[in-house]
Amino acid sequence: MERDTYRTSQLFKILGVSRDALRYYEKQGIVKPKHEQSNNYRQYNDYDIYTLLVADFYIKRNLSMKEVRQVQEGSSIEELGNLLEVKAEQLEETIRNKKIMLEKIKETKAFCEELKVHLNQFSLKKFPTFKVIDEFSDFFSFLEYPSILENMDMRKDDILSKIMRKFNFDENGFIDSTMYIVAKQETINKEKSESFLQYSKCIYTIVEDGRYQNGDSDIKYKVFESTLKWGSEQGLKPKGVAFVTTRLVTYLDNKERVFLEIYIPVE
């Protein structure tokens, strides 16, 4: 019995796959349609369609094209079960990472809203608890970054969000600064070797830095002067430290706009 054959345009209607997808399946060796000698049109038969249905079945279960071909070549039920277990573990890890990414998106989106309220404004706020993971000398000491990466999971973490700068100052001005790699903590389970940053009351503000706003000038003197002046007017006594984190970077005219979050602990 002669079976029906189908052209590429018909498969799009039958299976809902595009011409490019069919070419990709063919290139990957999933299907091997015959070609009409007269016009070189591809001709798919019933078995080709069934093979594409099976390929789609496994692709929807996270198998790669290579793994689909391996299934086609033959595998036991036990081998298939082991493969599916591996794919499930990979997908669960992807889901965990995507959930973390989603939280980061929500956090950054929320900060965009906070900008409207806190940019260049002062208020009192509790400092989130951070665990100090590592220290390095300066933001632009890039040759020190390889040691920083040893304490980060680059599948989930970005360097910029992990950096916090600590300033020490007194009534005469800035003394020095230290760069920290930190991790925000909801709960604390202290060990002897661990260090945490905790302050119950801080002067809080958001400021804009970056080349678009300030060129190459250092804004920290201007920012801290105005912040400490506001604190003095409120009768607040600073503890001599300040913490700065980068919360958002965007661009105008190819120049970065950097939005910094500043906490100055007070008594």
Which pLDDT does position 3 carry in this prediction? Answer: 63
Q: What is the pLDDT of residue 261?
A: 95
Could you give the CA distance from residue 226 to residue 205 in angstroms, rounded to a whole number?
Answer: 11
Q: What is the pLDDT of residue 154?
A: 85
Residue 119 DSSP class: B
Where do the domains of the chain lie, and which CATH numbers do they carry?
5-74 (1.10.1660.10), 119-265 (3.20.80)
pLDDT of amino acid 192: 63
Please tell me the pTM assigned to this model.
Answer: 0.77
For residue 222, what pLDDT is reported? 78
Confidence (pLDDT) at 1: 44
Highest mean pLDDT among 33-47, 164-178, 182-196: 164-178
d(CA 205, CA 207) in angstroms, rounded, equals 7
Structure confidence by residue, pLDDT tens digits, 28-48? 989 988 887 777 788 889 999
- Residue 68: its pLDDT value, please? 93
**Paired residues of 119 in beta bridges:** 206
> Mean pLDDT across the stretch 235-249?
94
How far apart, in whole angstroms, are the C-alpha atoms of residue 241 and residue 264?
Answer: 6
Given this model, what pLDDT does residue 191 score?
A: 65
Q: Which residues pair with 42 in a beta bridge?
A: 35
pLDDT score at 59: 93
pLDDT, tens only, 148-161? 888 888 888 899 99
Mean pLDDT taken over the chain: 89
pLDDT of residue 93 exceeding 50: yes
